[in-house]
Amino acid sequence: MLGSFLGWFFYLFDPLANLAIPPIQPQARLRPENNVPVAAEGPWEDIITGHYGVPPLIRIHDRDGIVKWKFERDDVQQDLPDEIRKCLYSSANDATELKWIRNGTAVAAVYSALALIINHTPDNPETDKLITWAICRDNEFLWNAHTLEPLPGDRMAVGTTGQRPWDGVLVYNTSEALPLDPSPPILQNVTGLRAIHGLIWDEAGSALWAAGTDFAADGSDPEPARATIHAYPFDEATGLLQADDAYVYRLDEPIRQEVEWGAGFSWWVGAHDLVPIPNQRKFLISEDHGLHAFDIPTGRFTEHNAAVADKYMPGFRVTTNDRHGVDGDGVFQELPYGDLKGFSIAPDGSFIYVQSLWQKYRGNHTSIVENGVYREINQGLEIYRSRWFGNIDGWPKPL
Ligand SMILES: *[C@@H]1O[C@H](CO)[C@@H](O)[C@H](O)[C@H]1NC(C)=O
Ligand SMILES: *[C@@H]1O[C@H](CO)[C@@H](O)[C@H](O)[C@H]1NC(C)=O
Ligand SMILES: *[C@@H]1O[C@H](CO)[C@@H](O)[C@H](O)[C@H]1NC(C)=O
Ligand SMILES: *[C@@H]1O[C@H](CO)[C@@H](O)[C@H](O)[C@H]1NC(C)=O
């Protein structure tokens, strides 16, 4: 009852109901009518996976899990500022984010108590695994940072993944001309979106998209929180993200995480990964309870749960059969599409995902589906995310 009442309540105040908002349009150079050839990427053999542990481990491997390249802290031979070395050798077990950047010659990651960029030049051992940028997360702003994403002009957006009104996105200069600095100047501080777990650069729309919650996900605000995606158009003239409330899109209803964690659990269902569909102006978004498709031109959520799997991830399979419980109204619920901490779709239709184990924070394998056929790789590892190690067609990283 409460749920459907709130659904209507929020519908009345839904910013999407305001038709005056201009939709985000593809940049001229990427509009189909301009026929600018864009080379297809591929061949989609490489996957990057973060393995939790002390120390954590980042691996690039093939579709069978055969490791081609790895990074752990003992691989670092270069001189580092003391503070960065301390954060690298912290007791944090995190390997929370890992992304292909700089045309595959580097990896951006949240690793141990750092957010960093590591060279990936396996053919050149001189430069391979050098840290070219790193910030310490060992402070009140960044300790829970879950994700990062490059922006044009050597900038890096880092999601602070916190619950306070001033949490959001911090932007840094990652130019290799700058010396390593554990607490570098902040180019921009975009506040307002809590609990950011996904960030993706939209080259066609010239915007950064973030997935988080509109209020505190942990229930510490008087208002209920909903999984929310927010687009921040990038102003090329100033190099700044525009925080325009027009581009805020919320899921319909706030839901407490009681099915998994028990009656009275204060946390709200919040966003996890924000995943572009190759060559389409669409995202999939995962949250604790399910999966949703989002259409950029109309600013609407178009499919949910089974309909998302049927259309965009055929062959998706729940990874364990214990994903069920009783919600706050005493109703038994199955959550087979819930808690994909990380997932990634290749242009050939193959997809990978990491679904957290029930009542845990991470999975113990990576699921891969090719031509509708499901397999498990990386079995026995403690994993939060796996991603294709490539430039997703239609969603190139910034130049
Ligand atoms: C990116 O890397 C590929 C090979 O890995 C190369 O063919 C291509 O020229 C590179 N692109 C740029 C812009 O450097
Ligand atoms: C970002 O701005 C907010 C609001 O002005 C401020 O409270 C917060 O301390 C800033 N964050 C950082 C890392 O400076
Ligand atoms: C980043 O640092 C480089 C090297 O100092 C500089 O050339 C560039 O203008 C800086 N970028 C921004 C956005 O401040
Ligand atoms: C992964 O976790 C599931 C569910 O707890 C368990 O059945 C399975 O044996 C585990 N697999 C490995 C390889 O640890």
Q: Tell me which CATH homologous superfamily contains domain 2-388.
A: YVTN repeat-like/Quinoprotein amine dehydrogenase (2.130.10.10)
Model's pTM, two decimal places?
0.92
Report CA dihedral (85, 88, 90, 94) to the nearest 10 degrees. Answer: 170
Query: What own/partner pairs with CB < 8 Å and gap ≥ 24 does 353-362 have?
Result: 353/313, 353/316, 353/386, 354/383, 354/384, 354/385, 354/386, 355/318, 355/319, 357/319, 357/320, 358/260, 358/320, 358/322, 358/323, 359/260, 359/261, 362/52
CA–CA dist 187, 173 (Å, integer): 7
CA–CA dist 380, 46 (Å, integer): 20
Q: What is the pLDDT of residues 198-243, one digit of tens each?
A: 999 999 999 999 999 999 999 999 999 999 999 999 999 999 999 9
Regions in the chain scoring below 70 on pLDDT = 1-42
Distance 236 CA to ligand 3 centre (A): 14
Q: Best mutation site among 137, 160, 186, 191 for ligand 2, i.e. most ligand atoms within 8 A of its Cβ?
A: 191
Ligand 4 contacts CB of residue 364 (under 6 A): yes
- Contact, 340 vs 273, CB < 8 A? yes
CA–CA dist 322, 357 (Å, integer): 9
Nearest-atom number in ligand 4 for the CA of 322 is 4
Residue 244: what pLDDT?
87
Residue nearest to atom 4 of ligand 3 (CA): 177
> Which residues are CB-neighbours of 15 under 8 A, at least 6 positions away?
21, 245, 246, 248, 249
Residue 19: what pLDDT?
41
Put residue 327 in one of left, alpha, beta given phi > 0 → left and psi -120 to 50 → alpha.
beta
Q: How many CB atoms lie within 10 A of CB 252?
A: 18
Q: At 188, list the tokens.
A: 């921009």
Q: Which of 197, 202, 169 is nearest to 277 (CA)?
A: 202
Q: What is the pLDDT of residues 294-351, one digit of tens each?
A: 999 999 999 999 999 999 999 999 999 999 999 999 999 999 999 999 999 999 999 9
- Contact, 377 vs 67, CB < 8 A? no
Ligand 2 contacts CB of residue 189 (under 6 A): yes
Residue 24: what pLDDT?
63
Q: List, as one string, the DSSP characters of 210-234.
A: EEEESS-TTS-SSSPP-EEEEEEEE
| Residue for token pair 């829970």 | 144
